[in-house]
Structure 1
Amino acid sequence: MSLWVFLFVIGLVLCNSGVENAKILGVFPFLSKSHYAMGNTLLKEMARRGHEVTMIAAFEEKGLPSNVSYRNIKIVTQLDKNDKRPNFFKEDMTNPYSMTLFLNSAGTMMTNQVFNSPAVKKLLESGEKFDAVIMDQFVDDSCAYFAHHFSANHILLSTTFANSWVNPLVGNPAPPSVNAELLLEFSSSMTFWERLRNTLFYLFGELNRQLYFFPKQNEVIKKNFPNARPLYDYLYNVSLVLVNAHESFNDPLALVPVMKNVGGMHVSPSGKLPSDLQKFMDVAKEGIVYFSMGSNLRSKDLPDEIKESILRVFAKLKVKILWKWEDETLPGQPANVKLSKWLPQQEILAHPNLKLFITHGGLLSTIEAVHYGVPLIALPVYGDQKLNAATAQQKGYAINIPFAEFEEARFEMALKEMLRNPKYKQNAEQRSKLFHDRPMKPMDEAIYWVEYVIRHHGAQHLRVAALKLSWYQYILLDVVGFFLAVVIAVLYISKMIFGKLCCRKSKTVKSKTH
C-alpha cells in the first residue's frame, strides 16, 4: 500500500511541475566555441533532466549518452569550407568602434547562414512546436523570429554581464554613468573622462543598432519570411534573460526581475586528469604556471617577437610551465615547459600545485579561475577580454597587461610579483568564497527559471512596465516637453500682461502731462 501512495505522490509532483519533457530549442550560431560551450552546457543538462532538446549551432555535441533526447542541427559555416581562422593577434581589434562595425557584418553573415541552412529550413517547415527557445544574445537578433514561429517562450542567454545589447530588450535601467560598455575597459567606478568616453560609445552603439544593425536583421527575416512582422515585434517579447555574471567577479548592476545572474553555470569539472598530466603536476613541488589563450585565440599564432620574449622569461623561472600550444613543436622550448594541443582546464585549475593562470582574459576562463581561487595574469586581445582583465585587476586577483602593450620586462616583473606576493592568491581565494556562497548552484538556478517561465506561460508578471512605453516616453521627453510648453506659455502670457500694463501706464502718464 505504501508503494502505491509513494507512486501517487510522485505522479502529483510530476503533473504539477508542468514542464516534464518540455521541448527546448537552442539557437547558438555564433562561430565562437565559448558562446557555444555556455549554451551547450545548459542544454545538455536540461536533456539529462528529461527535457527534449534541439540545438542549432556551428558546432556539434558528441559526448552525450544514448538515453537522453538531444538533437544536433549543425550550420555549415565558412570555417567548415576553408578552415581559415582569423589571426586575432595580427588584426587591429583594439578599437571598439571598428570592432562594432566588424560585428555588424559578422552578425548579418551569420544569421543569413542560419536561415539558409537546409536543416534549419526543414525544421521551420516541420510543424513542430517548442515550449521555449533559448538563444545566444549576440549580434543574431533576427533569430528572435524562432520563438514566434514555434509559439515558444523567448529566453536569452547573455554570455557576459547585463549590457547595452540586451538591457533595452527587457527595459533594464542601465545609465552609462555606471554601466560600462562591453567593448571598453572600464569598471563601474569611472572618472569623468571615462564616463564621457563610455557615454559617447553608448550613444554610438545605440544609433548603430537602431539605424543600421536592426534594419539589416529585419531584412534577413523579411527575405526568408515575407509575411513576417517587423523585427521589433519579436525582439522585445522576452520572458527571461540568463546572465553570465555574478558579484564575485563582476561589478554589481541593477537587474529587472526577468534577468537572472547565473554566472559559473558552465563550470563542471570531471575531477580527473590524464595520467601524464597528473604525474607532471603532482611532482612539481615548486609549482605550476598554466598558460592558455582560450579557444578562439591560438598561442601558435603569437607574433614571433612576443613568443620569443615569453620563452626567455619562462626559461628563467624555477616553476614548471604547462602551455596550451596548438602545434607539434615549439622552437626554443625551455626544459621546464610542457606543451599540449588540448588541456583539461578546469581540472588543471583545481590542482593544489597550480600557482597562477596566464590567460587571454576570456570570461569563461576568468570565472573558472575565480571558482578555484587561482590568481591571473591577463593578456587581453579584443572584445570583452579588456574589461574582464581590468575588472579582475581592480578586484586584486590579477595583473592586467593588454596584449597591445606587451613588454618582456613588464611580463617578467608581473610573473615574479605574482609568484612571490601572496596577496593575489589570498584575493583570489576570497573571490572564490563569494562565488560559492549562494543559495543554489548556478546551473540549478538557470534550469529553475527556464522551467518557471514555461510553467507560467511566459511569466508576463515579471516584465516591467517600461516595455509598454515608447522610447521618448521612457526617457520622459513628453513630460519634459510638457513642462517646457507650460514654461513658454507662462512666459508668453506674462510678457503679454506686462506689455499691456506698461502700455496702460504709459497712456496714463501722457494724459496727466496734457
Structure 2
Amino acid sequence: MYLTIPLILLFSRTILCSNILGVFMFPSISHQIVYQPIWKELSLRGHNVTVVTPNPLNDPSLTNLTEISVHFTYDFLKQTKIQELMSKDVNVFQNLDAIFRFMDAIAEAELNSTQFKQLIDDQSKQFDLILIECFHPVMYALSGRFKAPIIGVSSLGVLAAGYDIVGNPTHPVLYPDVLLSFHDKELSLWQKTKSVMFSLWSRYYHHNILVPRAHEMAKKYFGKDIPYVGDLEKNQSMLFLNVNPLMYPPRPTVPAIVEMGQMHIKPVKPLPQDLQKILDDATEGVVYFSLGSNVKSVNLAETLRTTIIEALSELPYQVLWKWESDHLEGKPKNVVTRKWLPQQDILAHPNIRAFVTQGGLQSTEEAISRGVPLIGMPFMGDQPMNVQKIIDMGIGLGVDPVTVNKEELKNCIIEVAEDKKYNRRIKEVRDLLYDKPMTGLEKVVWWSEYVIRHKGAKHLRSPTADISWFNYLLVDVILTAVVIISIIIYVGFKAIQLSSVHRNDKHKIL
C-alpha cells in the first residue's frame, strides 16, 4: 500500500513529461536572459527540452536539457551596427526592410548550422510543443515539420502584424508601434497620420513581402512540401509577451496573450571583492552608467562621449561605467570602468544613487526591482517610449543623446541622485509591479503545459484572427448603408423634381 502512492506519483510525472523545442534566435543577451528561465524551469519540471540559442546555459545539472548553440550569430551584430539600423532618428518606413533583411541573414545562418540541420532532418524527433521567439516567420515552419502547436515568445511587445496573428485588436493612435519612437501622451495630427500609415505599411510588408520571402527560405531548409509559412504562423496557440501595464499602455488582450514580466530578475548575489570594496568605500554615493548589451558605450560618437566624460568628471560621486574596452581616453579620476558588470547585483548595493541607462525594458525593470531611480538616454527601438514612461511615472529623468550637453546631463544626474522624491516614487512603482497573484515564470510554465495537455489552444483563438479586414472594418455594411442612403436621397430628389415640374405645368395651364 505504501509503495503504491510513490509509484502513482512517478507514473503521473512520466505521463506529464513532454518533448519541447525552443528556438530563440536573436543574438542579444538582453533578450536571451528573458527566455533562459523558461527553458530552465521546463527542464526542471521533468520535460525533455531542446533549445536553439546563442546563449546556452551550459548547466550540467539540467539533465533533461539539450542546447544547440548558435553563438556565432553575434558576428552579425559586429558586422552590422544595430544601434544605427534601429535608431530612433531613422526613417522607419525605409528602414523596415533593412531590419528584416538583417533578421533574414541571422535566420538563414542558424538554419544552415550543422546541429540545427541535423535536428530538422532527424525523422525520429517528435515534439509536443514548440516555443519560438517571434522575430522571423520562417521559424514557424518548424510547426509544419514536427506537427506540433506553437507558442510565440517575445522579450518585449510585437509589431501590429504580430498582434493580428492571434486576433488581438490594435489601435494606431492609442498604441503606436514601438519602432515609431512616439512617446507623447497625446499625438499630434502628423503623428496620428504617420502611425496610421505605418500600421498599414507594416502589415502590408509582413503579409506580402516578408512572409512570402520567409516561405521561400523555409522550402530551402524544410522541403518544398512545407505548408505555407503564413498559414503556419496563424496556427499559433498563444503569445507570451514580456510586457507590463506600467511600462506599456494597458490594452485589451485576447485570452491567447499572456503577459510575462520580470522574467530575468534574480535574487541578489554577492559582488566580486574588488567591486564590493569600490562600492562600500564610496560613502558619498555611486552613479552606475551602462547602455546595455546592444548600445555599447565604446561605439558612441566622439562628441557624445566627450560630453558624457565631462559631465561625469564634475559629479560629486563615484561613477561605475560599463565601458567595453581596456582603455577610456580622458577617463576622470572619479570614474571606474569595467568591460562587464553584474548589473542586478550592483543596483542592489545601498550606495547606488542613480542609474544612467539607455532605457531598455530589462534594465528598467532591474532598476525598479532594486529601487534605483534612473536617467534615461534612449537610442533605438522601444527605448524612447520606455524613457518617457520613466519620466511620466516620476522615477527619473531623460535626455536626448543627440542634443544633450554637459550641463544638462550633469544636472539631471545630480537631481535624480539628490531629490528623495525619485527614490520614494520608484519604491512605490516597485510595489505596484510585484503585487500580483503569480510570477511571469509561473504563468509561462502553466500555460505551456496547458497547450501541451490540450494539444493546442484553438478554443482560445479570437475570431478576429480569421476575419478579413473587409469584414472586420464592416466595409460591406458601410457600403450597403451608403447605397441605401444614396437611393433614398436620389428618390427623394427625383420626387421633389417631379413635384416641382407638376406644379409648374399646373401654373402654365392656369
Do they fold alike, i.e. is TM over 0.5? yes
Q: Secondary structure at the match of 2:96?
A: helix
Task: Give the corresponding residue for 1:285.
Answer: 283
Which residue of 2 is the match for residue 200 of structure 1?
Answer: 197
Q: Which residue of 1 aligns with 2:146?
A: 150
Change (3 A) 1:299 1:422: same
Indicate whether 1:399 and 2:397 are aligned: yes
Instruction: Report the equivalent of 2:386.
Output: 388
Which of 117, 134, 138 is the equivalent residue of 1:137? Answer: 134
Which of these residues, 184, 193, 212, is aligned with residue 209 of structure 2? 212
Are 1:86 and 2:88 an aligned pair? no
Distance in 2 of aligned mates of 1:272 and 1:176? 45
Secondary structure in 1 aligned to 2:115?
helix
Distance in 1 separating the partners of 2:315 and 2:177: 38
8 Å contact kept, 1:322–1:337: yes
Aligned-pair CA distance for 1:371? 1.6
Deviation at 1:433, TM superposition (A): 0.5
Residues 83, 192 of structure 1: alpha-carbon distance in 2 compared, 3 angstrom cutoff: closer
In the alignment, which of 20, 23, 31 is matched to residue 19 of structure 2?
23
Paired letter, 2:38: L
* 2:176 is equivalent to residue 180 of structure 1: yes
Q: Distance in 1 between matches of 2:393 and 2:46?
A: 40
Corresponding position of 2:6? 7
- Output the CA distance in 2 between the equivalents of 1:34 and 1:447: 21
**What CA distance in whole angstroms lies between the structure 1 residues aligned with 2:501 and 2:154?**
68
Are the equivalent residues in 1 in contact too, given 2:24–2:133 (CA < 8 A)?
yes
Q: Give the CA deviation at 1:489.
A: 3.6
2:326 is matched with which residue?
328
Amino acid paired to 2:225: N
1:72 aligns with 2:67: yes
Structure 1 vs Structure 2 CA RMSD:
2.6
Query: Residue 93 of structure 1 contacts residue 99 of structure 1 at CA under 8 Å; is this kept in 2?
Result: no
Call closer, same or farther: CA 1:36–1:91 in 2, change over 3 Å. closer
Aligned sequence identity (%) = 29
Distance 1:293 1:226, change over 3 A: same
Tell me how far 1:164 sits from its aligned partner: 1.4
Which residue number corresponds to residue 440 of structure 2? 442
Q: Which moved more, 1:315-324 or 1:485-494?
A: 485-494
Say which is worse superposed, 296-305 or 144-153, in terms of deviation: 296-305
Q: Alpha-carbon deviation of 1:506?
A: 6.4
- The DSSP-based 3-state class of the residue aligned with 1:68 is coil
> Structure 1: which 5+ residue stretches go unaligned?
none
Amino acid at match of 1:454: I
- Once the two structures are superposed, residues 192-224 of structure 1 have per-residue CA deviations (whole angstroms, 9 ceiling, x without a partner) of 333333223323322322332223223222344
Distance 1:330 1:255, change over 3 A: same
CA contact (8 A) 1:399 1:414 kept: yes
Any conservation in 2 of the 1:79–1:85 contact (CA below 8 Å)? no
* 1:40-93 deviation per Cα after TM superposition (whole angstroms, max 9, x unaligned): 232122222222111223x14143134422222234756448954527369965
Give the counterpart of 1:474 among 453, 472, 475. 472
Asked if the contact 1:299/1:325 (under 8 Å) is kept, the reply is yes
Deviation at 1:272, TM superposition (A): 2.0
CA spacing shift, 1:345–1:320, aligned 2, 3 Å: same
User: 8 Å contact 1:178–1:188 — kept in the other structure?
Assistant: no
Q: 1:364 to 1:183 in 2, by over 3 A?
A: same
Structure 1 residues 207-286: aligned runs within 5 Å: 207-224=204-221, 225-269=223-267, 271-286=269-284
Which residue number corresponds to residue 346 of structure 1?
Answer: 344
Q: 1:22 to 1:91 in 2, by over 3 A?
A: closer
Tell whether 2:37 aligns with 1:38.
Answer: no
**Aligned ranges 1:455-466 → 2 under 5 Å:** 455-466=453-464
Contact 2:141–2:227 under 8 Å retained in 1: no
Query: Which amino acid counterpart does residue 394 of structure 2 have in structure 1?
Result: G
Structure 2: segments with no counterpart, 5+ residues = none
1:178 shift after superposition: 0.7
> Does the residue aligned with 1:219 lie in a helix, a strand or coil?
helix
Distance 1:118 1:487, change over 3 A: farther
Q: Deviations over 1:308-347 (max 9, x none)?
A: 3222222222221111111112222222222211111111
Q: Which moved more, 1:104-113 or 1:81-90?
A: 81-90
- Structure 1 distance, partners of 2:497, 2:152, is 62
How big is the shift at 1:170?
Answer: 0.7
What is the Cα deviation at residue 258 of structure 1?
0.7
Residues 379-426 of structure 1: per-residue CA shift (max 9 Å, x gap): 111111111111211111121112222221211111111122111111
Report which stretch shifted further, 306-315 or 379-388.
306-315
What is the aligned residue count? 506
Match of 1:105 in 2: 101
Task: Return the alpha-carbon distance in structure 2 between the equivalents of residues 333 and 430 of structure 1.
Answer: 36
CA contact (8 A) 2:130 2:148 kept: yes
Q: Does 1:191 align with 2:190?
A: no
Change (3 A) 1:412 1:328: same
Contact 2:27 2:71 in 1 (8 A): no
- Going from structure 1 to structure 2, the CA distance change for 1:265 and 1:85 (only over 3 Å counts) comes to same
- Please give the per-residue CA displacement for 1:114-141, whole angstroms capped at 9, x wherever unaligned: 3333322221111211111111122x11
Q: Which moved more, 1:489-498 or 1:241-250?
A: 489-498
Alignment CA distance shift 1:509-1:218 (3 Å)? farther
Give the aligned residue type for 2:108: N
Check whether the contact 2:22–2:132 (CA below 8 A) recurs between aligned residues.
Answer: yes
TM-score of the pair, normalised by structure 1: 0.91
The 1:165/1:404 distance shift into structure 2, 3 A limit, reads farther
Helix, strand or coil for the counterpart of 1:239? strand
Distance in 1, matches of 2:372 and 2:121, equals 49
**Cα separation, 2, equivalents of 1:165 and 1:171:** 10
